[in-house]
Amino acid sequence: MSLFSTLLDLVYPRFCVVCGKAVGQGQGYVCWDCISGFDVITKPFCSLCGDPVEGMIEHEYLCSSCGRRKPNFEMARSAVRYRGSVRAVLHSLKYGKMIFLGRDLFPFLSACVTTHYSKVCLDAVTFVPLYPKKERERTFNQAGLLAKRLAGNLDLPLLSNCMKRIRYTMTQTDLDASHRRANVRGAFSAVNEKWLEGRNLLLVDDVMTTGATVDECAGVLKEAGAAGVFVVTVARG
């Protein structure tokens, strides 16, 4: 396969989806220069939702949002900030239907899980579902693709049918935190609840901004019997 891949690269050379430069052998579809532009999230960040904060904080930090209202999930962590080259990659994945870009993003997602959840006894992996009409139009769910790869890497079952989106919601992009929560309230429902009973779940999504969507999902999953919900996303807005 390595030889075949090398031959394909010679005949059909790959170019970076961000900057357009040639991609070196053994890479995916994002060049090293653009990958180096990924802003990896490190401390300090909120101990619950993982929202990064500028400056130096030497004690456990709780953001004002989590201080006002404890989220339904146990923890949320993201690999990189949603800006720069990673924003372009995720946009190409979601709206350009370049699903092969999951290969370039996955190492960051996997490293995030290893860093933050290595001591958590996870039982299964699931993901934020799309509304059926939207998934038919897009032809895939980017969170589902990432979750499938992650489940295989962790040797955990993928629960792809334990939750569904039962109400269409407008895009969250231009909404503030309170309107985001209102927009997704009641938008999800648990199914096959016997799969959830007593399990610690890893909930996967591509981007987390205020956390309204994953928080709503976590609440639904826990109400259906899940013992704990731990969130991981590629990027944090």
Please report the DSSP string for 160-197 in residue order.
TTSEEE-S----STT--HHHHHHHHTT-EEE-SGGGTT
CA angle 208, 84, 43 (to 5 degrees): 55
Q: What is the pLDDT of residue 5?
A: 59
Q: What is the pLDDT of residue 4?
A: 55
Please report the DSSP string for 34-87 in residue order.
HHTT--B--SSB-TTT--B-SS---S----HHHHHS--SSSEEEEEEES-THHH
How far, in Å, CA of 142 to CA of 94, rounded?
6
Q: Distances from the Cα of 131 to the Cαs of 136, 169, 187, in angstroms?
A: 9, 8, 9
Q: Average pLDDT by consecutive 10-residue portion of the chain (237 residues)?
A: 58 87 85 95 96 85 94 98 97 95 97 97 98 95 98 97 93 84 94 94 97 98 98 97
Contacts of 49 (CB under 8 A, 6+ apart): 63, 65, 66, 71, 75, 76, 211
Q: Distances from the Cα of 59 to the Cαs of 41, 68, 81, 88, in angstroms?
A: 17, 19, 22, 34
Task: Judge whether 195 and 219 are in contact, CB under 8 Å.
Answer: no
Nearest C-alpha neighbor of 146 from the set 89, 102, 208: 102
Q: Which domains does the chain have, with CATH numbers?
A: 1-36 (no CATH), 40-236 (3.40.50.2020)
Location of structure tokens 């031959």 = 7
Q: What is the pLDDT of residue 198?
A: 97
Q: What is the pLDDT of residue 57?
A: 80
Q: What is the pLDDT of residue 54?
A: 84
